[in-house]
Structure 1
């Protein structure tokens, strides 16, 4: 039984392995990292191989595992970056000097001008841009709050930015 399962898994790896590796590489764009994640995908797939109920969907199942492994890696990577940003630098002995009053005024002016410019957008784009940049909501939160699909939120964000770009040349 174990031998037959091993042969079946090897056949699947021969058939889909290259496509899975290429998929992982397309997501992470780093060969060694892609190889490591590919190995993790194969280990996970092998350990759950006997639970497959629909052999016809094995390729999709492998791609799902690969996508999840990449997502897990990114989450772990972001947490490490967040740690360095928040924890390590907060213990740093280098204390920054407070901004000069002129810098504070210029920054406040820029933020006010930016907000003014966003508020001049058509309503359909204004709410998505405002909630994202000024209220720090995620795209999913905006989607739920506005009761519209996330793809619509993304489209409105993109189009809103296109409207803003020429108006914000003065801040650059």
Structure 2
């Protein structure tokens, strides 16, 4: 059984491997990074391979894994570079407030000023912000660590940012 599983997975890689790699490379534009992400895609695909029911959808399944691995990489990279840039929280943009590029506002402040403003937040908002940006924990890890549902963590992050935004703009 295991031998057959490995053989059929090898056939899948032989059939779609090059196109998946080229797709990843077209997204990240860096050979070594594309190779690393490709290996992650293959590992994830291999681990999940026995659970796939519809054999006709292998190609789209591999593409989905590939784009998700790229997104994970970009999210990790952007988290370390941009405090405000998060697509997860873009679901509730207020129509009343004018759009302000948050990345530009962020660059006007030093890390110390940012930390001072974060420390002014109530504990329920300060804690998830601290864990996310300073401890580099994912939202899932924050939810587990604080014994809260994921939706609560997302809401607290969103509200913390809403409270921080005017404080940061008032200094600009």
Larger Rg over CA atoms: 1
Query: Relative CO higher for 1 or 2, CA cutoff 8 Å, sep ≥ 6?
Result: 2
| TM-score normalised to structure 1 length | 0.49
TM-score relative to the length of structure 2: 0.49
